[in-house]
Each structure stands twice: as structure tokens, then as C-alpha cells.
């Protein structure tokens, strides 16, 4: 468990690669999982990779990540709306790296606020799927700290 990273993806990310490629790119969720798995393997880490369209399910998945090295979280639209996710991150006391494929600060003002950033270990946005790899690298680097 301490050698496991959980990558959690929120609503509509199951559609990656099929719609709005100009915003989210052409990589599918399956491609993203493969890239995360390769990153984890390079660090000798196990990977739990999940996507859900349901807010409460994301809370449950965060709770289930207790005991792991940490979480890479793209909560998608719930980033901007969910007090429950912010509370869950505080409650589990895990290292959570918030990731967004797009640069949310270059988009609509409602995407500039996050309930996750204040309780996250770090935030990466605008780098596409590379952001997930960088987040895994950061969690791996935190292993002995
Ligand atoms: O840039 C990101 O990763 C976001 O978390 C993506 C969310 C958006 O609400 C956030 O503001 C930023 C939206 C995910 C929707 O994913 C789609 C993927 C393909 C086609 C349509 C939606």
C-alpha cells in the first residue's frame, strides 16, 4: 500500500480523446492509464487507476486511498464545486496532487476557483497528460520525506 499511487479521474473524463480534442487532446482514458502505469513502473510503484462520474464515489475512492503513497486527482468539474472533495482530502491526510489537462486559468472565470488547491500538496495544470506523469514523479520523490 505505501508503494501504491491512486490516480482518480472525475466526470466526463471517460470521454477523453473522443470530444473537444482542441481542449483535451486526442489521448483516450485507456492511453492515459497506460502512460500512468508506465510512470509508476519506472518508480517501482503499483497503480490504482479509476474514473467516476459521481461526486460521492470520488469521496469514497479518496477514502479508499488511505495508506497509499498518495493520489493524483483530476476531479474535473467537481474541482470547482465540491466542498465534499475538499473536506475528504483534509480528512484522509494524504498527499494529493491536483492535475488538470487544460490550463484552467486561461479558461472561463468559474474554472479559476478550486476547492482542492488549498488542501492539495501541489497543483499542475495545462500540460496535458504529461501533468499526470509529473505528479507521479513528485509523489515518488516524496517517498522518503
Ligand atoms: O482540464 C482538465 O483536466 C479539467 O479538469 C477537465 C474538466 C473541466 O471541467 C475542468 O475545468 C478542467 C472537464 C472534463 C471533461 O472531459 C472531457 C473530455 C473529453 C470531451 C469532453 C469532456
Q: State the pLDDT at residue 66.
A: 98
Residue whose CA is at the smallest distance from ligand 1 atom 9? 77
Query: What is the predicted pLDDT for the residue at 98?
Result: 98
What are the pocket residues of ligand 1 if the criterion is a CB atom closer than 6 Å to any ligand atom? 12-13, 15-16, 19-20, 24, 74, 76-77, 79, 100-102, 104, 111
The total of other beta-carbon atoms located within 10 Å of residue 137's CB is 14
pTM of the model: 0.97
Looking at residue 23, its pLDDT comes to 84
Which residue ranges of the chain lie beneath pLDDT 50?
Answer: none
Helix-then-strand count for the chain, H and E = 5, 5
Q: What is the pLDDT of residue 20?
A: 85
Q: CB atoms < 10 A from the CB of 13, how many?
A: 19
Residues 21 and 27: their CA atoms lie apart, in Å, by 8
- Outline where DSSP puts E strands in the chain: 4-9, 46-51, 70-74, 96-100, 122-125
Cα(12) to ligand 1 centroid in Å equals 7
Give the domain range for residue 41: 4-142
CATH number (domain holding residue 109): 3.40.50.9100
Note the Cα 126 to chain centre separation in Å: 13
100 is catalytic: yes
In this prediction, residue 130 carries a pLDDT of: 97
| Catalytic, out of 24, 78, 115, 132 | 24
Name the closest-CA residue to atom 13, ligand 1: 76
Can you tell me which residue has the cell 497503480? 47
- Catalytic status, residue 115: no
DSSP 37-68: HHHHHHTT-EEEEEE-S-HHHHHHHHHHTTTS
Counted domains in the chain: 1
**Structure-derived torsion over alpha carbons of residues 8, 142, 118, 48, reported in degrees to the nearest 10:** 10
Amino acid at each position: 500500500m505505501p508503494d501504491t499511487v491512486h490516480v482518480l479521474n472525475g466526470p466526463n473524463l471517460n470521454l477523453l480523446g473522443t470530444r473537444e480534442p482542441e481542449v483535451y487532446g486526442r489521448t483516450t482514458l485507456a492511453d492515459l492509464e497506460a502512460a500512468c502505469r508506465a510512470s509508476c513502473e519506472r518508480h517501482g510503484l503499483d497503480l490504482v487507476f479509476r474514473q467516476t462520474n459521481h461526486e460521492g464515489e470520488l469521496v469514497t475512492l479518496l477514502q479508499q486511498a488511505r495508506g497509499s503513497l498518495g493520489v493524483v486527482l483530476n476531479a474535473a468539474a467537481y474541482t470547482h464545486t465540491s466542498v465534499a472533495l475538499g473536506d475528504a482530502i483534509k480528512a484522509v491526510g494524504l498527499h494529493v496532487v491536483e492535475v488538470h489537462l487544460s490550463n484552467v486559468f486561461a479558461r472561463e472565470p468559474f474554472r479559476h476557483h478550486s476547492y482542492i488547491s488549498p488542501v492539495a500538496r501541489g497543483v499542475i495544470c495545462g500540460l496535458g497528460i504529461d501533468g499526470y506523469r509529473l505528479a507521479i514523479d513528485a509523489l515518488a520523490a516524496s517517498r522518503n520525506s
